[in-house]
Structure 1
């Protein structure tokens, strides 16, 4: 859920908005039903997920027409799937097939695209055109960068961006909200009508499914480093933190290849499951610090230099609390963070931490718990305005894709990235070039990951995609010019997984 901390007041405000919205085909029906049309199959949920200068990734779902799986969606139905595409809407003369030839969970990649060109496409299963994911609560477009085709059944349209200027240097995978140990997604305020969605019986826990796929995918896509911005666990239970550490370790070495920060779910806890962990600075026992910061007495924040890029990881729940309030840095951390920012203002820098500094344009009510403490955020944004080298702040917590530019620091992109553990279920790749960067969101693509992602899209009675996917393609895919010529390329062939590590310690 947005911040995983919906209050009863938030729930009442959201319920009023949802009740006033048109009922969509994915609205909750309550009980499973049998097929009403034999083996008739309908496609749904078309989404243009990833758009780079030379490729596009398109996904959708097929189900048995007229059925209900008990969550409000059609029962999954394996079917063929293809995308016909071209540079003119009346001449779709190229065809692309998906990762799987017969599946309910379609994932098709168009390759060989040219930068700056407009393309048209039509996705079909069983010869039927696939309708877009509907946005009824927000203004948005799930399938293209223009409105072409939205008034009918397509074809839909997108224009590829230009690549970042200069040569490619290295790539960083950004992710958050792994929630290892969670067993129900989409619980809201204890209200029974907003049911929690569980993994199908007999299948592995969904946080493990999603993280396993994520690690494989970012490695296959050539990521050199990985940053995980908080909520590594559901409730900081030692076994769950250890499992996250183990699965992330398949990418590479901790503190060399991958790095994590704390989220509100990773806070220190009270109770027997936590009794063997160190005493928390603010409360209870801090198992997160034991697992990921064992050598540091109380500091769970750091700087790191990666091939000339300064990375600052902040702990946005460095405080006492139950996890349902606004994030905050301790006075000591805030002083340390501001000092780091002022030390080398021209150095290319990114910041990552769990709570966003700003939250805008939400389909759900925006409350103080969605972001960092307002006074601290204002102070930090003022600092950002004086830092020409800082270009990206990566956050999680809201479980959505959203790009924001604050008027207080126009050169800094604030990127909220959707949760790794549920729909749309994935990560972003930050590709750094000498003259700028590209930031692209990818859904995790293993068959079990796609299966769970489609199941979990039914959170909030099926309205969840209108919040989590991103209102526009630009909310999950962007290219920005920025001088990164001082960075050094990764030397492949070094490091535990072929990543070009540098032997710098945490500060």
Structure 2
């Protein structure tokens, strides 16, 4: 789906038809009814319904599990049950009949998040999440044949509410540094998922009296990235909703909470970071917020031997709804950089993906980079074995895609920071490989908005945004990164 569903009319071809939405809702209805039935109380409001169970983060020694509790029979004015504040716990073990370990929250909440620690790499664990004796049921992803709660590729296969996952092995070698990957902050946006021309899909707005959700989510992202040990943060475009200098300046103030621009965090532009239709206006508006000087919007940056290349994937005039483009000058510069040092460990980040595969929504040219330029980039990757990761945003989803013509490179699409599931991916660089792990933004306000905004696209948004498998948001891969040393700050 095209970046920022609050799209101009020119981009409507990228959106699902009413028939697509109605068909998807019909497919989802049985699972939603089963989820509601599982939480029905014996007495009036006596027990909560525990829903939307998700295995969010899975590392070699930890797992983060989230769910939501609500009160059956109530209504919040928008057709949804009221939250139910309860305790939450996860019981787990290495055999489905022996769930002999317990991890519990330290305070009651409706937005549950339990982290399991001290796990063994390569071990299969079985678990059940529950609140006040009610077992949580998964976020249904059958429309994409997905699994929100485990690592099995063969469906959920559970009638008891016990699910399983297998922890990966850690990346080879010693840990060198960690990088937070994020995108689509959309400062200034007021309605998530608004689809022009679709009266039944009006989008989701923040509850009255609460702070603007892009600010809540961006602040929570910064705090969680620091807490998870990120040394550097990369923000891959659509920092603002429309290129307003005020919104870009606010984004700068929040991101400055992570550190110093150009050293601790790096930013590239997206198609929404534009105040007008001309390329010159686009550049000037972004510079007001992020002080890019008179140079181009692309760059190379050194992190102790790890090369970071930032691409401006909308270096063009346009309304923002068409395909991304680098321009010939930037493309030539990019090819030259890779030819000069093909073996140097390299991460590339930019807003538009090179390719969009396996989307639940119709795919159009506006969702990705110009095809000719995307092919040129992949061809350059094929001759540069040091490149191992291409980080993209724009699609607002978690999706891992190895590039066929350059199989040593993974394209990682990262979900939007601004709404469900929110947060970022943490890239942990080791001398012999790397891991990617998704973390939801922390804090009660961020969790509340994340739950509210899962209603985007008529409630179908989890099918698109979460990642149909655990590996779309958590993965480990071997790659020779022994050339990376201590952090540096030089800019090329």
Same fold (TM over 0.5): yes
**Number of equivalences:** 477
> Does residue 1:73 correspond to 2:80, yes or no?
yes
Q: Is the 8 A contact 2:13 2:364 kept in 1?
A: no
- Cross-structure match for 2:3: 3
Distance 1:284 1:438, change over 3 A: closer
Show CA shifts across 1:380-437 (max 9, x none). 1111111100000000000000000121110101000000000001101000011000
Distance 1:72 1:51, change over 3 A: farther
Normalising by structure 1, what TM-score? 0.90
Match of 1:22 among 13, 22, 27: 27
Q: In structure 1, how many angstroms separate the alpha carbons of the residues matched to 2:14 and 2:489?
A: 47
> Does residue 1:325 correspond to 2:322, yes or no?
yes
5 Å-filtered alignment, 1:337-356, equals: 337-356=334-353
Q: Which runs of 5+ in 1 are unaligned?
A: 28-34, 271-279, 491-501
Give the 3-state SS of the residue equivalent to 1:247 in structure 2: helix
> Does residue 1:504 correspond to 2:476, yes or no?
no
Give the 3-state SS of the residue equivalent to 2:403 in structure 1: coil
Deviates more, 1:286-295 or 1:164-173: 286-295
Q: Shift of residue 49 of structure 1? A: 0.3
Deviates more, 1:147-156 or 1:219-228: 147-156
Distance 1:402 1:125, change over 3 A: same
Q: In structure 2, how many angstroms separate the alpha carbons of the residues matched to 1:12 and 1:160?
A: 36
Q: Shift of residue 12 of structure 1? A: 5.1
Q: Is the 8 A contact 1:171 1:224 kept in 2?
A: yes
Q: Shift of residue 37 of structure 1? A: 3.3
Give the 3-state SS of the residue equivalent to 1:22 in structure 2: helix
Q: Is the 8 A contact 1:427 1:444 kept in 2?
A: yes
Distance 1:12 1:412, change over 3 A: closer
Give the 3-state SS of the residue equivalent to 2:272 in structure 1: helix
Q: Is the 8 A contact 1:11 1:189 kept in 2?
A: no
Q: Shift of residue 15 of structure 1? A: 3.3
Show CA shifts across 1:265-288 (max 9, x none). 002427xxxxxxxxx644567311
Give the 3-state SS of the residue equivalent to 2:191 in structure 1: coil
- Cross-structure match for 1:488: 485
Q: Shift of residue 74 of structure 1? A: 2.2
Match of 2:413 among 409, 416, 424: 416
Give the 3-state SS of the residue equivalent to 1:208 in structure 2: helix
Q: Which runs of 5+ in 2 are unaligned?
A: 34-40
Show CA shifts across 1:308-340 (max 9, x none). 100000000100011111111112111111111
Deviates more, 1:17-26 or 1:427-436: 17-26
Distance 1:194 1:70, change over 3 A: farther
Give the 3-state SS of the residue equivalent to 1:334 in structure 2: helix
Give the 3-state SS of the residue equivalent to 2:168 in structure 1: coil
Give the 3-state SS of the residue equivalent to 1:418 in structure 2: coil
> Does residue 1:215 correspond to 2:222, yes or no?
yes
Query: Cα RMSD between the aligned structures?
Result: 1.9
5 Å-filtered alignment, 1:235-384, equals: 235-269=242-276, 281-283=279-281, 286-297=284-295, 299-384=296-381
Distance 1:225 1:14, change over 3 A: farther
Q: Is the 8 A contact 1:131 1:153 kept in 2?
A: no
Give the 3-state SS of the residue equivalent to 2:197 in structure 1: coil
Q: In structure 2, how many angstroms separate the alpha carbons of the residues matched to 1:427 and 1:382?
A: 28
Q: Shift of residue 203 of structure 1? A: 1.1
- Cross-structure match for 2:50: 43
> Does residue 1:446 correspond to 2:452, yes or no?
no
Q: In structure 2, how many angstroms separate the alpha carbons of the residues matched to 1:285 and 1:353?
A: 15
- Cross-structure match for 2:161: 154
Distance 1:281 1:326, change over 3 A: closer
Q: Shift of residue 16 of structure 1? A: 2.7
Distance 1:408 1:157, change over 3 A: same
> Does residue 1:229 correspond to 2:227, yes or no?
no
Show CA shifts across 1:233-279 (max 9, x none). 01111111111101110110000100000000002427xxxxxxxxx
Q: In structure 1, how many angstroms separate the alpha carbons of the residues matched to 2:425 and 2:282?
A: 34
- Cross-structure match for 1:130: 136
